[in-house]
């Protein structure tokens, strides 16, 4: 098949994804060798760019890493890896200071006693004000600064509109090798419509999450679980996929596409009310509207089902109007687009799928069980989040573990062989056709989202999960058959990865016979530490013939 002649087909580090994790790991790795980043859309399109709230970090002298650790462990409901959390809270401040040095402009407060006079907000589950933010567009500010630094670095190449099709493992080599190892990836160039092998000594997955498997999500369209699915097909262990965080407050409006209303608004003082104006969260948790996300999302789900109303409401009308507008200019402007002035009106909100707390199982250096394959960011399961992520720990985790992964991987360069090009099986799409049945693809996207939302949502049951599994397995078979007969497109790749990610979520949920954190099932409504205080792990052996070499 045709290939690209104008780009390098080998690199020291291949980074898949261009969010905060991918850009961070690239910048650190570039000190040790050549780096190629591939991203399937524009370079700034990622979950990071949509992150409003901020970065949880101990910078106030009245706060402490111990308190941040305890808040994280309490929210994680007994499944956090304590060592991983200790690393997070101890190394986090230095990573935030690096962002400041790169030019990220965080919001400041003249009277603050914290580092650099940063304004520190508060979000659900936190016992202290420790959220560093750039108004209500923190992710965008961080992404912009990281991208500027990446583009100035001569050791980094960034390929837009390129996506991974499969990871290159020993299965794809012409010679036999007993050790499981990653050698790069087959990459699809969506502009030229060609697939080519991109060889690498080290591969770093930083491809984000898969919120688009749900009909209602805060995630952008690119969040289709690509890295998760590729890693699983390659034989990587996947952990704790049942723990899907539903953000409690997204704008309820037919045209808003589940626009996120940041938890920072509740940290500012907004409270949740039902359709009759009652503040209901005190009935569910002592922290009220600032309770951890799993508690708030379930409470809203309960109130909606009991009342028959389609939503609940955020009320910030009691706070000074000018201060609210100044603190949340993006949210204010978006609400105004839909005729809502949050300084005078209640804001209708509902939960939506937001974040996968599980992912590719890694250790504290980002290693997977496949040699030379690393993962960091939302795609990885470091053990930091446990059964429920503490608000604003996600960007911090990406920063901390990207650096650790890059430095550990750099130590492998001298022994990580760059496989010769002629030893990799060429990509073979003979016998495939350009299929014009795009209605099948769009229908399958919608069906996956509907099945997951209806049966694998905030509240689950064994009956619902088994029903979901039957439908997802049928879709999986249909999509795989379609994939094998059809020339590659981005949409086909996304659909295939989405159905795999959905299957991993359902299988994990069925394996856990208790309710813990974000996984609540009516068949096992209690937390069971005796039998289930452990990770849920899914493994898959790589099988020949999985396609396409």
- Provide the annotated active-site residues: 293
Q: How far lies 100's CA from each of 115, 132, 325, in Å? A: 11, 11, 25
Three-state secondary structure call for residue 70: helix
Q: What is the DSSP letter of 10?
A: E
- Indicate the length of the chain as a whole number: 549
CB 386 within 8 A of CB 397: no
CA distance 406 to 365: 8
Number of Cβ within a 10 Å radius of residue 431: 8
Sign of torsion, CA 509 212 335 262? positive
Give me the helices (H) in 134-213, please: 138-152
Q: Which residues have CB under 8 Å from 150's CB, separation 6+? A: 23, 26, 27, 37, 156, 158
CB 179 within 8 A of CB 170: yes
CA distance 12 to 203: 9
What kind and span of H or E run contains 312? strand 312-315
CB 391 within 8 A of CB 53: yes
SS3 content of the chain, % helix, strand, coil (to 5): 40, 20, 45
C-alpha 363: how far from its chain's center?
18
Number of Cβ within a 10 Å radius of residue 30: 20
Cis bond upstream, residue 548 (ω within 30) = yes
Tokens describing residue 371: 């040699």
Q: Which residues have CB under 8 Å from 333's CB, separation 6+? A: none
């Amino acid at each position: 098949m045709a290939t690209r002649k104008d780009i390098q087909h080998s690199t020291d580090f291949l980074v898949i994804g261009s969010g905060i994790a991918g850009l961070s790991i690239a910048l650190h790795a570039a000190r040790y060798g050549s780096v190629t980043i591939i991203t399937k859309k524009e370079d700034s399109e990622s979950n990071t760019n949509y992150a409003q709230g901020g970065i949880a970090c101990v910078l106030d002298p009245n706060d402490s890493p111990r308190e941040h650790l305890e808040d994280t462990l309490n929210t994680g409901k007994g499944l956090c890896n304590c060592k991983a959390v200790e690393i997070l809270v101890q190394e986090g401040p230095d990573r935030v200071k690096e962002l400041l040095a790169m030019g990220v402009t965080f919001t400041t407060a003249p009277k603050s006693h914290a580092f650099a006079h940063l304004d520190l907000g508060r979000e659900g589950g936190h016992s202290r004000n420790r959220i560093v933010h750039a108004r209500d567009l923190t992710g965008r500010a961080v992404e912009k600064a990281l991208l500027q630094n990446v583009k100035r670095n001569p050791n980094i190449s960034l390929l837009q509109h390129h996506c991974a099709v499969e990871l290159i493992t020993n299965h794809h080599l012409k010679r036999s090798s007993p050790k499981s190892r990653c050698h790069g990836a087959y990459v699809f160039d969506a502009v030229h419509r060609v697939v080519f092998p991109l060889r690498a000594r080290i591969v770093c997955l930083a491809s984000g999450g898969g919120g688009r498997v749900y009909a209602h999500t805060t995630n952008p369209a690119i969040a289709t679980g690509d890295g998760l699915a590729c890693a699983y097909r390659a034989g990587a262990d996947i952990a704790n996929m049942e723990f899907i965080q539903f953000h409690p407050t997204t704008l309820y409006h037919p045209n808003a596409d589940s626009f996120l209303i940041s938890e920072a608004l509740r940290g500012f003082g907004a409270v949740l009310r039902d359709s009759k104006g009652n503040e209901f969260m005190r009935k569910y948790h002592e922290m009220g509207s600032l309770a951890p996300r799993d508690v708030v999302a379930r409470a809203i789900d309960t109130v909606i089902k009991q009342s028959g109303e389609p939503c609940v409401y955020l009320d910030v009308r009691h706070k000074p109007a000018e201060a609210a507008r100044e603190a949340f200019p993006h949210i204010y402007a978006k609400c105004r687009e839909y005729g809502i002035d949050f300084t005078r009106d209640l804001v209708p909100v509902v939960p939506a799928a937001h974040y996968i707390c599980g992912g590719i199982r890694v250790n504290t250096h980002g290693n997977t069980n496949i040699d030379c394959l690393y993962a960091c960011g939302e795609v990885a399961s470091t053990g930091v989040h446990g059964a429920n992520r503490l608000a604003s720990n996600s960007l911090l985790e990406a920063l901390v573990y990207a650096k650790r992964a890059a430095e550990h991987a750099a130590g492998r360069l001298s022994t990580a062989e760059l496989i010769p090009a002629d030893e990799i099986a060429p990509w073979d799409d003979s016998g495939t056709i350009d299929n014009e049945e795009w209605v099948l693809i769009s229908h399958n996207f919608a069906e996956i989202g509907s099945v997951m939302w209806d049966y694998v949502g905030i509240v689950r049951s064994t009956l619902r999960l088994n029903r979901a599994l039957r439908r997802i397995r049928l879709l999986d078979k249909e999509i795989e058959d379609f994939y094998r007969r059809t020339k590659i497109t981005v949409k086909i790749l996304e659909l295939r990865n989405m159905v795999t990610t959905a299957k991993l979520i359902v299988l994990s949920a069925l394996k856990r016979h208790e309710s813990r954190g974000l996984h609540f099932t009516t068949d096992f409504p209690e937390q069971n530490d005796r039998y289930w205080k452990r990770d849920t792990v899914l493994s898959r052996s790589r099988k020949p013939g999985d396609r396409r070499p």
